[in-house]
Chains A and B, each alone.
Chain A
């Protein structure tokens, strides 16, 4: 993600040069995503033609698996990496467009419930991860990064916190690697547990939105379950993302006090800078759709645009997951992260079952 941000901000380069840098990787994202979509159809058609009962493997899974195979066999060539890194951009554009599928009333109701659950989840996760980091003797700033990454929103939260608390590059690489590895595992485990427990789309979506770290993995885990679950998962995760500024501000003040450095002068400006703006875009599109500005066909087109954007995202999730790189980062941060993730998954599952009555 950092490289995609850097790329969009690399002002000295001309626009054409920037497009040329992005294009190969973007085409790879499109090819992998489209291959996943085609494989879903072909696999189903093969089963039908040969009278075989094959499981319905969604394009989401195909796209991620193809990406994983490429990234961990031939590897992604350097010239493709800037374009592959744009998957985060497509994810955010897709979420904004997904707003057209929500009525503002539903957003406020479900978002309100999500916010309450998110507040509980964040408080408990931060406390648990901090205690776990201390117990395993991790460096305090690495513990902070892991706590923020697993309680709020993965890589974005780690990058935002790294700058705010002046953490080492090495610590943030550790934390990012651990969170990405755990996100990739959760992406496959959550749908299995959800089906095993017979969870409703809404309950599962809420659980995925609260329990999985990265927005891309949340969206994929939701889509692997059902379309309706993906909608709820994205909404719950969006509510979680909206809290990022408050938590990063809290840690920035904590570390400034601890190290006797200068704190945050303008807290409102800090909060605004850290606030994920795509949340506002999502709300705007939802409000416009609620006002019946779009016809039914237009809403279908917007929903399909969102699907195409997510298709690029799912391809990117697979392509950026390099297992060998993750192994190099060491075991301890991963173990702390894994223990924390399991605890958070149980905690959020309990919260979701508790809140299910409110959702009905």
Chain B
């Protein structure tokens, strides 16, 4: 029973996301902003 519970907990822990979709989007936007700020990205045309 305990073993079963442990394996389920392990499985749940493995499935639990470290980063949400929002967090990934924020990270990408912040990294791009930093790259623009330090001059690695010089100009983005439209």
Residues of A within 8 A of B (CB): 1, 4-5, 8-9, 11, 88-93, 96-97, 100, 276-278, 280-281, 284-285, 288, 293-294, 297-298, 300-302, 304-305, 307-308
Contacts and interface: CB of A to CB of B under 8 A. Distances in A.
B42 to A, nearest CB: 8
Q: Dominant SS at the A interface?
A: helix
B35 to A, nearest CB: 10
Contacts of A288: 33
Contact of A308 (B19, B30, B44): B44
Given A11-B14, A281-B29, A92 B21 contact: yes
A307 B46 contact: yes
B15 A305 contact: no
B21 A88 contact: yes
B30 to A, nearest CB: 7
11 contacts: A8-B17, A8-B19, A11-B17, A93-B28, A277-B23, A281-B25, A285-B29, A294-B33, A294-B36, A298-B36, A302-B32
Contacts of B17: 8-9, 11
B25 A301 contact: no
Contacts, number: 81
A284 B46 contact: no
Nearest to B19: A8
Contacts of B22: 92, 276-278, 281
Nearest to B25: A92
Contact of B30 (A92, A281, A298, A307): A281
Nearest to A309: B29
Which 8 interchain pairs have the tightest Cβ spacing? Answer: A281-B26, A92-B25, A96-B29, A277-B22, A301-B44, A304-B44, A9-B17, A93-B25
B20 interface: yes
Interface size class of B (residues with CB under 8 A): 20 to 34
A92 B41 contact: no
Nearest to A301: B44
B43 interface: yes
Contacts of B45: 304
A101 B29 CA distance: 14
B33 to A, nearest CB: 6
B32 A97 contact: yes
B15 A302 contact: no
Contact of A302 (B19, B23, B26, B33): B33
A206 B43 CA distance: 31
Contacts of B19: 8
Contact of B24 (A89, A297, A301): A89
A38 B2 CA distance: 62
Given A8-B19, A90-B25, A298-B37, 15 more contacts: A4-B21, A5-B20, A11-B14, A11-B17, A88-B21, A89-B21, A92-B21, A92-B22, A92-B25, A93-B29, A281-B29, A294-B33, A305-B32, A305-B36, A308-B46
Contacts of A307: 46
A165 to B, nearest CB: 20
A206 to B, nearest CB: 24
A83 to B, nearest CB: 14
Contacts of B25: 89-93, 96, 278, 281
Contacts of A277: 20, 22-23, 26
A278 B46 contact: no
Contacts of B20: 5, 277
A294 B44 CA distance: 14
A304 B29 contact: no
